[in-house]
């Protein structure tokens, strides 16, 4: 069963309304100011109404058959030639039916062929319907072309987004496995509990993060679990401060969007650094999230030679561009011995893509 968005439903309703109004007015024209007391007039109306239904056939043959099949493949010139041929055919068909079914006029003068009357009652109406159908069909054609371009663009963006998401998994696994290796080598009692914690994190990463959007509380729970894992690894060697405040609930957010900044802080904010500190701050309003990360860095980290350095940050920058255009800000700065990141995003509403 096909489903339509509100915009598509509105467009379809507008088209149907236009067609009903247009053809309702067109078919009712012969009845305006008609003398229903005249027997010949009544006979004329009975005959002309089904003949005028040909205008509906002309309209839809042009908009649904001729234009879609000829214009995209053969161009405007071939389409115009086809439309002219279609109009000529309907002029002849309409004239033949009128001559065959409409009672002849009692005055011999009006029974004789007259070019002016022929043009007024046969040529001009058919040309008008043909022209209106051409305009209507061309607008539909342009609309479909634009929709196809938008869908193609969306597919390209979705493919790029899928690729970016696929980069997160190996990047994350690589970093966390280093933590477990460290605990195993040091024969820490926490190795088993950390491995279980990792399994929970990976379950979220591999299954739940496949959703296009997740609730903020789930994403922050994942973030907390990751930080707890790192606390076990570094114990008291690193000061880790996490503060969350505001209205944190079921606001929707792109999954795995916050973790790269924390990974980057642990990667470059520990080691050969005096009194390492990592500060993480989350402030949530109803429609906006503010996310700040601050960590100490060593002077030599300015020229980081690790080729994998920055993969997560470049990844998240691109995902923000794709998923939150004109609805985010990202500031990354280095001040003295501190590396700071501040991200703000506007939450998506339910149903937004």
Q: Comparing 69 with 112, which gets the higher pLDDT? A: 69
Q: Which of 295, 283, 270, 265 is nearest to 345 (CA)?
A: 283
Residue 344: is its pLDDT beyond 90? yes
Neighbours of 162 (CB within 10 A): 9
Query: Ranked by mean pLDDT, which of 47-51, 58-62, 212-216, 246-250 comes out on top?
Result: 58-62
Residue 70 confidence (pLDDT): 92
Helices and strands per DSSP (H, E), number in the chain: 12, 7
Strand order across the beta sheet in which 277-284 lies = 239-246, 277-284, 288-296, 338-346, 328-335
Domain span at residue 294? 188-346
Contacts for 160 with CB less than 8 Å, ≥ 6 apart: 318, 322
The arithmetic mean of pLDDT across residues 239-248, rounded, is 92
**Contact in structure between 282 and 289 (CB atoms under 8 Å):** yes
Instruction: Write down the pLDDT at residue 325.
Output: 87
Asked if residues 52 and 90 have their Cβ atoms less than 8 Å apart, the reply is no
In b/e form, how buried is each residue of 292-312, taking b as 16+ CB within 10 angstroms? bbbbbbbeebeeeeeeeeebb
pLDDT tens digits for range 191-211: 777 777 777 777 777 666 666
Is the predicted pLDDT of residue 317 greater than 50, yes or no? Answer: yes
Provide DSSP, 261-328.
HHHHHHHHSSSS-SS-EEEEEEEE-SSEEEEEEEEE--GGGGG---TTTTHHHHHHHHHHHHHSTTSE
Closest by Cα among 243, 303, 237 to 276: 237
Q: HEC states along 31-98?
A: HCCCCCCCHHHHHHHHHHHHHHCHHHHHHHHHHHHHHHHHHHHHCHHHHHHHHHHHHHHHHHHHHHHH
pLDDT at 112 over 70: no
CB distance 54 to 93 below 8 Å: yes
Please, which residues have CB within 8 angstroms of residue 134's CB and are 6 or more apart in sequence? 62, 67, 83
Choose from 38-47, 200-209, 226-235, 257-266 the range with maximum mean pLDDT.
257-266
- Residues 85-96 pLDDT 10s: 999 999 988 888
Q: 45 versus 161: which is more confidently predicted? A: 45
- Verify that 24 and 145 share a domain, yes or no: yes
Same domain, yes or no: 309 and 218: yes
What's the whole-model pTM score? Answer: 0.54
Q: Within this chain, do residues 192 and 133 fall inside the same structural domain, yes or no?
A: no
Residue 119 confidence (pLDDT): 79
CA 61, distance to chain mean position in Å, is 32
Of 110-119, 267-276, 293-302, least confident by mean pLDDT is 110-119
Q: What is the pLDDT of residue 177?
A: 74
Please report which confidence band the pLDDT of residue 162 belongs to, taking 50, 70 and 90 as the band edges.
low
Cα distance between residue 123 and residue 312, in whole Å: 69
Q: Check pLDDT > 70 for residue 161.
A: no
Which has the minimum average pLDDT: 47-61, 78-92, 308-322? 308-322
Residue 168 lies in a domain: no
- Going by C-alpha positions, the residue among 68, 182, 194 that lies closest to residue 134 is 68
Give yes or no: residues 210 and 326 share one domain: yes
Nearest partner of 320 among 171, 126, 160, judged by Cα: 160
Last residue in a domain, options 94, 127, 150 = 150
Count of domains in the chain? 2
Domain match, 235 and 313 both: yes
Both 270 and 146 in a single domain?
Answer: no
**Domain presence at residue 163:** no
- Per-chain mean pLDDT for the chain: 80
Q: Say if residue 230 is exposed, middle or buried (CB neighbours under 10 Å; 0-12, 13-18, 19+).
A: buried
Judged against a pLDDT cut of 70, whether residue 155 lies above it is answered with no
Please tell me which residue, 303 or 26, carries the higher pLDDT value. 26
pLDDT for res 108? 62
Residues 133, 247 share a domain: no
Give the angle 160-154-255 at the CA atoms, nearest 5°: 55
Which pLDDT score, from 0 to 100, does residue 335 have? 84
Residue length, the chain?
A: 353
The confidence band for 168, taking pLDDT boundaries of 50, 70 and 90, is low
Residue 93 is assigned to a structural domain of this protein: yes
Handedness of CA 164, 165, 167, 168 (dihedral sign): positive
- The region, left, alpha or beta by phi > 0 then psi within -120 to 50, assigned to residue 275 is left
Q: What is the pLDDT of residue 254?
A: 84
83 and 192 both lie in a single domain:
no
The reply to whether 87 falls in a domain is: yes
Calculate helix-pair angle for 124-185, 311-323, nearest 10 degrees. Answer: 150
Q: Supply the pLDDT for residue 215.
A: 87
Judge whether 228 and 238 are in contact, CB under 8 Å: no
Name which of 250, 249, 247, 200 is nearest 223 in CA terms: 200
249: CATH: 3.30.565.10
Query: In the prediction, which pLDDT does 241 show?
Result: 93
What's the confidence (pLDDT) of residue 109? 59
Q: How far apart are CA 125 and CA 122, in angstroms?
A: 6
Q: What pLDDT shows up at residue 42?
A: 76
pLDDT above 80 (res 21):
yes
pLDDT at position 293, please? Answer: 94
């Amino acid at each position: 069963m096909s489903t339509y968005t509100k915009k598509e439903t509105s467009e379809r309703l507008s088209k149907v309304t236009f067609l009903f109004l247009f053809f309702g007015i067109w078919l009712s024209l012969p009845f305006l100011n008609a003398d229903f007391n005249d027997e010949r007039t009544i006979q004329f109306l009975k005959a002309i109404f089904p003949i005028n239904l040909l205008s509906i056939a002309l309209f839809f043959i042009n908009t649904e058959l001729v234009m879609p099949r000829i214009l995209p493949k053969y161009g405007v010139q071939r389409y115009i030639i086809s439309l002219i041929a279609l109009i000529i055919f309907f002029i002849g068909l309409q004239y033949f039916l009128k001559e065959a079914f409409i009672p002849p006029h009692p005055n011999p003068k009006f029974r004789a062929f007259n070019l002016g009357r022929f043009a007024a009652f046969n040529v001009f109406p058919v040309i008008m319907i043909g022209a209106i159908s051409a305009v209507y069909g061309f607008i539909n054609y342009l609309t479909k072309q634009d929709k196809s371009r938008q869908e193609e663009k969306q597919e390209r963006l979705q493919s790029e987004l899928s690729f970016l998401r696929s980069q997160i998994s190996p990047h994350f696994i690589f970093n966390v496995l280093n933590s477990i290796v460290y605990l195993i080598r040091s024969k820490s009692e926490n190795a088993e509990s950390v491995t279980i914690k990792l399994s929970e994190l990976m379950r979220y990463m591999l299954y739940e993060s496949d959703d296009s959007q997740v609730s903020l509380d789930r994403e922050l729970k994942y973030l907390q679990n990751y930080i707890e894992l790192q606390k076990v690894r570094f114990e008291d060697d690193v000061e880790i401060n996490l503060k969350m405040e505001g209205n944190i609930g079921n606001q929707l957010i792109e999954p795995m969007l916050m973790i790269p900044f924390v990974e980057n802080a642990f990667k470059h904010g520990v080691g050969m650094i005096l009194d390492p500190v990592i500060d993480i701050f989350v402030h949530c309003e109803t429609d906006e999230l503010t996310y700040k990360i601050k960590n100490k860095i060593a002077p030599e980290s300015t020229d980081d030679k690790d080729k994998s350095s920055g993969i997560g940050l470049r990844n998240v920058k691109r995902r923000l561009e794709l998923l939150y255009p004109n609805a985010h800000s990202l500031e990354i700065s280095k001040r003295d011995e501190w590396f700071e990141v501040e991200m703000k995003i506007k939450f998506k509403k339910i149903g937004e893509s």
